[in-house]
């Protein structure tokens, strides 16, 4: 497996070096980009979709609560997640080393476990909304949210 990946990693080396150089030269710009990208992907896309469906009086948002109805979505997705990502990236910048494979695997496993636990809690307690209109039945947006939460 490693032999097959090695050529691809070699081709990516200049991009990795350029990204590392950018991070060292402009750490504030990098942190701002991380915060902005997280805000856009974690909150703004869902909020705009929610507002669009509300304006159209779509049955999904008329019948169920949507993103803009949850304080946790506004505070968590709009502020806490971007701040958490900025803190993680700033710590990685301070370490100034390549992340180890076990650290990446551990983070992915933790994210998967947390995602499963949150969605199981939601289903077990019948906390229905526009991402899960019925217990254990998620919409495409629900699966997208789970994927984003895991990532």
Same domain, 62 and 92: yes
Same domain, 77 and 117: no
Distance CA 53, CA 64 (A): 11
Same domain, 86 and 111: no
Q: pLDDT tens for residues 76-133?
A: 888 998 999 999 988 888 887 777 889 889 989 999 999 999 999 999 999 888 888 8
Tokens of 98: 């390549």
Same domain, 4 and 56: yes
Same domain, 41 and 76: yes
For residue 137, give the 3-state DSSP assignment.
strand
Give the single-character DSSP code of 64. Answer: S
Same domain, 146 and 93: no
**Averaged pLDDT for residues 27-48:** 88
Give the number of residues written for the chain: 151
Of the residues 98, 114, 137, the one at which a domain ends: 98
Query: What is the predicted pLDDT for the residue at 2?
Result: 67
pTM equals: 0.69
Same domain, 92 and 20: yes
- CB–CB of 112/5 below 8 Å? no
State CA 43 to chain mean position distance.
9
Q: What is the span of the domain harbouring residue 122?
A: 100-151
Other CB atoms within a 10 A radius of the CB of residue 77 amount to 24
Same domain, 116 and 150: yes
Tokens of 80: 């806490």
Nearest partner of 36 among 78, 87, 93, judged by Cα: 78
Of the residues 59, 83, 98, the one at which a domain ends: 98
Cα–Cα–Cα angle for 12, 14, 15, nearest 5°? 65
Same domain, 84 and 109: no
Place of tokens 């896309």: 45
Same domain, 84 and 14: yes
Same domain, 7 and 44: yes
Same domain, 6 and 79: yes
**Number of folded domains in the chain?**
2
Distance CA 107, CA 88 (A): 12
């Amino acid at each position: 497996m490693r032999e097959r990946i090695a050529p691809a990693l070699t081709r990516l080396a200049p991009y990795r070096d350029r990204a590392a150089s950018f991070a060292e030269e402009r750490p504030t710009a990098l942190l701002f980009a991380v915060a902005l990208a997280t805000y856009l992907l974690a909150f703004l896309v869902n909020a705009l979709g929610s507002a669009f469906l509300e304006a159209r009086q779509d049955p999904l948002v008329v019948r169920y609560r949507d993103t803009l109805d949850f304080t946790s979505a506004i505070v968590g997705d709009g502020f806490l997640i971007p701040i958490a990502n900025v803190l993680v990236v700033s710590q990685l910048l301070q370490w100034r080393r390549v992340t180890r494979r076990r650290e990446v695997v551990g983070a992915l496993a933790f994210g998967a476990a947390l995602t499963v636990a949150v969605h199981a809690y939601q289903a077990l307690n019948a906390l229905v909304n526009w991402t899960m209109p019925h217990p254990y039945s998620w919409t495409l947006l629900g699966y997208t949210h789970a994927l984003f939460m895991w990532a």
